Amino acid sequence: MYRTHTCGELRAENIGTEVKLSGWVQKTRELGGMTFVDIRDRYGITQLVFDDSKNAQLAENAANLGREYVINIVGDVIERESKNKNIPTGEIEILVKQLIVLNESETPPFTIEDETDGGDELRMKYRYLDLRRSPLQKSLKLRHDMGIAIRNYLHKQGFYEIETPYLIKSTPEGARDFVVPSRMNENQFYALPQSPQTFKQLLMVAGYDKYFQIVKCFRDEDLRADRQPEFTQIDCEMAFVERDDILNVFEGLTKYLFKEVKGFEFEGDFQKMPYDTAMELYGSDKPDIRFDMKFVELTKTVANSGFVVFDSAEYVAGITAKGCSEYTRKQLDALTDFVKKPQIGAQGLVYCKYNEDGTLKSSVDKFFDADALKQWAEVMNAEPGDLMLILAGNKKKTQSALCELRLEMGKQLGLMNRNTFAPLWVVDFPLLEWNEDSKRFFAMHHPFTSPKPDDLHYFDSEPGRMKANAYDLVINGVEIGGGSIRIHDKDIQSKMFDTLGFSKEEANDQFGFLMNAFKYGAPPHGGVAFGFDRLVSLFAGFDSIRDTIAFPKNNSGRDVMIDSPSFIAKEQLDELNIQLKAKQ
Amino acid sequence: MYRTHTCGELRAENIGTEVKLSGWVQKTRELGGMTFVDIRDRYGITQLVFDDSKNAQLAENAANLGREYVINIVGDVIERESKNKNIPTGEIEILVKQLIVLNESETPPFTIEDETDGGDELRMKYRYLDLRRSPLQKSLKLRHDMGIAIRNYLHKQGFYEIETPYLIKSTPEGARDFVVPSRMNENQFYALPQSPQTFKQLLMVAGYDKYFQIVKCFRDEDLRADRQPEFTQIDCEMAFVERDDILNVFEGLTKYLFKEVKGFEFEGDFQKMPYDTAMELYGSDKPDIRFDMKFVELTKTVANSGFVVFDSAEYVAGITAKGCSEYTRKQLDALTDFVKKPQIGAQGLVYCKYNEDGTLKSSVDKFFDADALKQWAEVMNAEPGDLMLILAGNKKKTQSALCELRLEMGKQLGLMNRNTFAPLWVVDFPLLEWNEDSKRFFAMHHPFTSPKPDDLHYFDSEPGRMKANAYDLVINGVEIGGGSIRIHDKDIQSKMFDTLGFSKEEANDQFGFLMNAFKYGAPPHGGVAFGFDRLVSLFAGFDSIRDTIAFPKNNSGRDVMIDSPSFIAKEQLDELNIQLKAKQ
């Protein structure tokens, strides 16, 4: 037996008992004829003490222990002289009688502390050491606890967790698939699932009613900061439901998780906002509504002033930053530089200060007199002490830039508290997006999303006008997940494929099994998928999903710890009947 | 809203209430001016009644409903005249006032009944219809319930479920990997995990202490009846443990599952049996101990009789079939044919009847007189009324054939009750297996398995003699899973790779990350992996794992429902920098 207790377990009431502990050496120090060793495991840290005067050899052995040595000790729990109130074991220490080194350790390449001295690359390479640090230990525990809570909640609601296959079929629609050559079926390939979408719909056809799965999904996309080639979804589907039945269940799940895992209770129902409203008010389909600062459109208000930037703009809109009228020239220049960054792409920034004394001062005083500016202030609900920030141009791009500016101001004004949570259902998304390059419609969500019933009559005349019976859950500006009511009528599904430019053959080739299934009594159904990595990240207060994942990949899709992907043997390629293409 | 109740929910106490139900039409029948429709969902079946005299049109619409139509009805719960005690809703029926057809259905290609008329291939192609059948619905519910129970048990024991990556590194050791070409890392490949083995060991190095995961694993092997290219493991690892610590936890899990999910309680501890004993007594490392019929070795007892088959045999052994002395010539011939089947491969079968009258009659009376046969009976513990069945030849092959014969007799004598469960830990496996073809040792379990500490001294002199600190859990002759204490010392691990014929470069290339990790304080650790599909199959009483899986592959690794694997576009191959090899 390696231990009677963990390193986080002993308290004052254990004083006087003999214990056995195992763990890692956090640090050693010598002080007045005593050697102190902190021993650590995932449960906590316990102080060991070796008395030089009682057993000089043992104390010397202890003094020679290196950081991260794995040790096993036997000793007596005694009261600590100088108690440490910061740790739960701080009232006691162990007077050690026996010490065994279970394994030595080389000096780690970085310190195993909450704040480490190791850089990103180094910590990724030695991920098994980085994972010893307390913030990561807490993160993986949080992830586990959330997984358990999600499963128990859905189980109680009558959901079954059903595993869907990982070796499926490649479909060109959507993101790029990872593929897997089949040895037994020459020249053919499996694909790894981007989501279990079609399988969960088949489970509804099969009568399973309420399905969920916490499941890995795969997308071979160029990676951005917060993307991983493999990621985890909480994937759900329900039959015989309308939109609000689904929203109720998953709003319930979200509230339950916040309460169980974070002790945070929401008041009332989550707000619902149509996509169009979200775009008008926040320029985003995932607005952060922890703070207000809504867009106000000024296109008409500012028209025909002779200021060509406004006069020629499709769209002019602004936000009011409360209490910022005293922003300096330097601060305003910095905001202008911010909106002009290539990834934001505004041409410039117009500001108007509503000074405390009631005067107004704008960057475009040449074109707008005090009365005009007063009118802006009225329209924008600005008060003395506020700062109005205005962008103009193409509507879509300007909305997007103003959205970034709003978030930047939210940050500067400290309105984005990590411990405040502002959830929002964004609903009524457009069904289709027109792609100018390929001159065709794409499904905004996916081709199985149902149009809103009232919009069905636009299918032939103006398909671009149709709204989808789709919804996203957004918390603090983070898209936690989304879903839709699906098409369950084979004729509507077939019409959808037509509208997306699929030939009958293509549709049949890729989704024939689903359309076939719809011939045999498909029930009305719909579902949702939440990004588990992002949800954990939101709960943990992390900026990135990476530290919610035990073994993440870097931005080139590499696992630098195991050095993968890697070259494989020619025999393996031969068996799969493939070969590498010669370099061009 | 599509329903107020499910189709399995209404009882006598609901009589008089108006309800709304949705589901599938199981069957319709007309009887004395009434039309009866059975409506089905995953919760049960409810009888609907349409009164011709009250609403002729409605009754006609009901009569026209086809099998598997999806309908929605409103009606009143009334008392049923002829109650059906076989179903929980049998006391009531619904007098329907309103009927909506939510979706029609073509006539299904087979009947959706407990016993269907559809063949295997057809049911696989229309898996979404097969999944509507009650035995499969029960199987997936059982699987879900077991998943929840496993997670809650391990959670309570302090385990974390931690997700390990699916895109990992190919290693030639072990079974064949599925590989995934990397687009971003030209000419390099990921592999799909055969198990999370190295990752769970790294999690122990990282201090996570108690890890588990219910996880998909992948092996590109030629498929046998009970194999799937993707399968699910309950994968676990613990640090600071010895063998029996692990066995206790997973014996506890097994008992908990049987009790929670099947209501079955085991008495006492599971038996532990060394591998060598299992081979001697049952000729198998996964003996079915629901019944006795142990092997008795007769090599010495039968020596030097002049019967060349015995005299030349390395090994002679038999089993005693209680009460089978009256087996007919025909039955004995059938047994002889059975053991001579190529997949069993015995040369012949010797029998000896111990008749009720005390006389003995064998198939080799020419060589053995009554006294000799009497001696057999004594050695084999046979009594009047029993039948002794004896095989001879090469030891390994004969043990294996006698094992099959024993199981066949167990079947014939009804000793393999599906509702009896006989668990067994098989322990002390050989560490290494010599492969004559490649003239090298292979790891019997995997290269990370620790030798038994007492055997370490054989490492240099006689590595083949070393026993592994490894164990399997066997229930009713089915290997549920296994595991081992791992090597945590980098020098022993390196010696192991040497013994397996890895060059330093190969070992470093494939497992360098693990050996590196072992330099930084690896704790003693070990673990276990249970086959989840098999465990569900055992609980469900199925012969095959296939019906515990929602969407299984056939024996060519194909999903015939979605028709996968499939050909992919040349553009996809180009992006991956691979091409198909020209046909030879």
Which DSSP helix (H) or strand (E) runs through A407? helix A395-412
Q: What is the dihedral of CA A191, B509, A567, B227, to 10 degrees?
A: -30
A281 located within any domain? no
Tokens encoding A581? 């293409």
Q: Do B2 and A140 touch (CB under 8 A)?
A: no
Contacts of A151 in chain B (CB under 8 A): 147-148, 151
d(CA B267, CA B274) in angstroms, rounded, equals 21
Residue type at B481?
G
B110 located within any domain? no
Place of tokens 């609900």: A381
For testing contact with chain B, the best of A199, A236, A240, A514 (most B CBs within 10 A): A240
Q: Do A178 and B167 touch (CB under 8 A)?
A: yes
Contacts of B208 in chain A (CB under 8 A): 42, 131, 137, 140
Contacts of B27 in chain A (CB under 8 A): none
- Which residue in A has a C-alpha nearest to residue B216's C-alpha? A166
Residue type at B245?
D
Looking at A412, A446, A461, which one is the last position of a domain? A412
Tokens encoding A268? 């009332």
Contacts of B140 in chain A (CB under 8 A): 160, 162, 208
- Say yes or no: A556 contacts chain B, CB-CB below 8 A: yes
Residue A229, domain extent: 136-273+423-549
Residue B420 confidence (pLDDT): 93
Looking at B79, B103, B127, which one is the last position of a domain? B103
pLDDT band at residue B581 using 50, 70 and 90 as cut-offs: confident
Q: Which of residues 459-518 of A touch B (CB under 8 A)?
A: 488-489, 512-513, 517-518
pLDDT digits (tens, 9 = 90+) for B519-561: 999 999 999 999 999 999 999 999 889 999 999 999 899 999 9
- Assess whether B24 and B144 both reside in one domain: no
Helical H runs in B258-303? 275-282
Q: What is the pTM of this model?
A: 0.95
**Residue B216: strand pairing partners:** B232
B493 located within any domain? yes
Q: How many CB pairs under 8 A join A and B?
A: 342
- Assess whether B155 and B267 both reside in one domain: yes
Q: Is the Cβ–Cβ distance between A540 and A547 less than 8 Å?
A: yes
Q: What is the CATH number of the domain that holds A498?
A: 3.30.930.10
- For chain A, the domain total comes to 3
Q: Do A565 and B127 touch (CB under 8 A)?
A: no
Tokens encoding A482? 């989304």
Using the predicted structure, report yes or no on whether residue A428 has a pLDDT greater than 90.
Answer: yes
Q: What is the CATH number of the domain that holds B91?
A: 2.40.50.140
Contacts of A564 in chain B (CB under 8 A): 167-169, 190-191
- Assess whether B397 and B489 both reside in one domain: no
Helical H runs in A7-162? 56-63, 120-125, 127-130, 134-156
Q: What is the CATH number of the domain that holds B365?
A: 3.30.1360.30
Asked if omega into A423 is within 30° of 0 (cis), the reply is no
- Say yes or no: A70 contacts chain B, CB-CB below 8 A: yes
For residue B566, give the nearest of A24, A160, A188 by CB distance. A188
Residue A222 confidence (pLDDT): 83
Residue A171 confidence (pLDDT): 81
Residue type at A161?
E
Mean pLDDT, chain B, as a whole number?
95
Contacts of B549 in chain A (CB under 8 A): 163
pLDDT digits (tens, 9 = 90+) for B283-313: 999 999 999 999 999 999 999 999 999 999 9
Q: Do B161 and A147 touch (CB under 8 A)?
A: yes
Q: What percent of chain A has pLDDT over 70?
A: 99
Which of A502, A513, A308, A282 lies closest to A398, judged by CA?
A: A282
Report, as an integer, the average pLDDT of B130-143.
97
- Assess whether A544 and A483 both reside in one domain: yes
Tokens encoding A284? 């985003």
**Residue B21: strand pairing partners:** B73
Cα B469 to chain centroid distance, Å, stands at 24
- Assess whether A17 and A140 both reside in one domain: no
DSSP string, B210-245: EEEEEEEEE------TT--SEEEEEEEEEES--HHH
Q: Give pairs for B464-467: CB < 8 Å, separation 24+.
A: B464/B430, B464/B432, B464/B434, B466/B430, B466/B431, B466/B432, B467/B275, B467/B428, B467/B429, B467/B430, B467/B431
B566 located within any domain? no
Q: Do B42 and A69 touch (CB under 8 A)?
A: no
Q: What percent of chain A has pLDDT over 90?
A: 90
Please give the sequence-ordered ranges of beta strands (E in DSSP) within A104-218, or none if there are none: 160-161, 179-181, 189-191, 210-218
- Assess whether A408 and A434 both reside in one domain: no
A304 located within any domain? yes
- Assess whether A156 and A269 both reside in one domain: yes
Q: How many angstroms separate the Cα of A86 from the Cα of each of A31, A45, A47, A83?
A: 21, 11, 13, 9
Residue A198 confidence (pLDDT): 94
A373 located within any domain? yes
Q: Which of residues 73-92 of A touch B (CB under 8 A)?
A: none
Rg of chain B (C-alpha set): 30
- Assess whether B267 and B141 both reside in one domain: yes
- Assess whether A369 and A429 both reside in one domain: no
Q: Do A565 and B188 touch (CB under 8 A)?
A: yes
For testing contact with chain B, the best of A102, A249, A564, A584 (most B CBs within 10 A): A564
Residue B583 confidence (pLDDT): 60
Looking at B369, B391, B412, which one is the last position of a domain? B412
Cα A352 to chain centroid distance, Å, stands at 36
- Assess whether A251 and A376 both reside in one domain: no
- Assess whether B148 and B259 both reside in one domain: yes
- Which residue in A has a C-alpha nearest to residue B65's C-alpha? A521
Residue A583 confidence (pLDDT): 60
- Assess whether B301 and B267 both reside in one domain: no
3 state SS of B361: strand
Mean pLDDT, chain A, as a whole number?
95
A554 located within any domain? no
B163 located within any domain? yes
